[in-house]
Amino acid sequence: MRIFIMEDYAAMSRKAAELMAAQILLHPDSVLGLATGSTPVGLYRCLVERFKAGELDFSGVKSVNLDEYLGLPAENSQSYRYFMNRNLFQHVNINMANTHVPDGLTADPEAECVRYDELIRRMGGIDMQLLGIGSNGHIGFNEPADSFPVGAHCVDLAESTIRANARFFPESGQVPRQALTMGIGQIMQARRVLILASGREKKAAVRRAFWGPVTPEVPASILQLHPDLTLVMDRAAAG
């Protein structure tokens, strides 16, 4: 595991963008596993800047997002599809047909999960998976549990996650209570994993995930077993 402790959020974002840009430059046809939340916003901004400066080409890149709220259409400003379009896709030359997010409006969540697993398999797996971390140690929407789920699945969100994500919604009661997420198995099969953490509210989660036992009660802790893991965090998260 490689660890970079950067001065602040801006430096963390620049470092993460450097690592992701290197992936794209070395392998222009990369399959990127992408994440949402407030943590990667700065990284996406840096990537867009580098694209506009002519340093990056997304035309061969394919993407699969980690998760999506159940019940939110792509046009809803809180959906993860909307987030990705707004923060990255619409600013770069990625082919939108090659960007994938689970379908939050599916009438059959189980079938959608099977489709998503199959899609990732057909794409040849994920070359670089980007992750944030929830304050309870969740990755994607894999909440603390009794076991590590392997494939994509539908989850009931933890109360703490619903509370944490309420800040993005006009009214807290509007936070969906269920989501579709990639499984831990899929994340672990990514050839490289890049996880970001920023702010002191992530300090305890980082400590438990990377300096504690590997347990499904802290889903991110399994990443200790990943052969190519990079953790980039700011000083506040490192504590």
Catalytic annotation present for 138? yes
Helix axes 41-52, 80-87, angle to 10 degrees: 40
Residue 33 to residues 79, 83, 84, 181, Cα–Cα distance (Å)? 17, 15, 12, 12
Is there binding between residue 66 and ligand GLP (CB under 6 A)? yes
Q: How many residues bind ligand GLP (CB under 6 A)?
A: 14
Which one among 42, 102, 132, 149 touches ligand GLP, defined by CB under 6 A?
132
Give the strand order in the sheet containing 178-181: 67-69, 178-181, 153-156
Asked if 142 interacts with ligand GLP (CB under 6 A), we say: no
The span from the CA of 197 to the CA of 58, in Å, is 25
Residue 115 beta carbon to ligand GLP: minimum distance, rounded to whole angstroms: 20
Locus of tokens 């990127």: 32
Q: Report the amino acid identity of residue 222.
A: I
Asked if 42 touches ligand GLP (CB under 6 A), the answer is no
Residue 136: active-site member: yes
Asked if residue 137 binds ligand GLP (CB under 6 A), the reply is: no
Cα 74 off chain centre by: 17
CB of 34 to ligand GLP, least distance (A): 10
Among candidate residues 143, 153, 165, 226, the one labeled active-site is: 143
Q: 128 forms bridges with which residues in the sheet?
A: 32, 192
Residue 231 is a binding residue for ligand GLP (CB under 6 A): no
Query: How far is it, in rounded angstroms, from Cα 65 to Cα 141?
Result: 11
**What is the radius of gyration, based on Cα positions, of the chain?**
16
Q: Which residue in 65, 67, 100, 234 is the catalytic one? A: 67
Is 189 near ligand GLP (CB under 6 A)? no
Q: Which is nearer to ligand GLP, 60 or 82 (CB)?
A: 82
How far apart are the C-alpha atoms of 40 and 27, rounded to whole Å?
21
The residue from 87, 136, 142, 165 that is catalytic is 136
Instruction: Reply yes or no on whether 143 is catalytic.
Output: yes
CB of 141 to ligand GLP, least distance (A): 5
Active-site residue flag, 55: no
As given in the structure block, the two tokens for residue 129 are 């998976």
Residue 39 CB, nearest approach to ligand GLP (Å): 3
Q: For residues 49 and 164, give the distance between their C-alpha atoms in angstroms, rounded to a whole number.
A: 29
| DSSP at 128 | E
CB of 103 to ligand GLP, least distance (A): 16
Residues at the site binding ligand GLP, with contacts judged by CB under 6 A: 35-39, 66-67, 132-134, 140-141, 161, 165
- Catalytic residue list: 67, 136, 138, 143
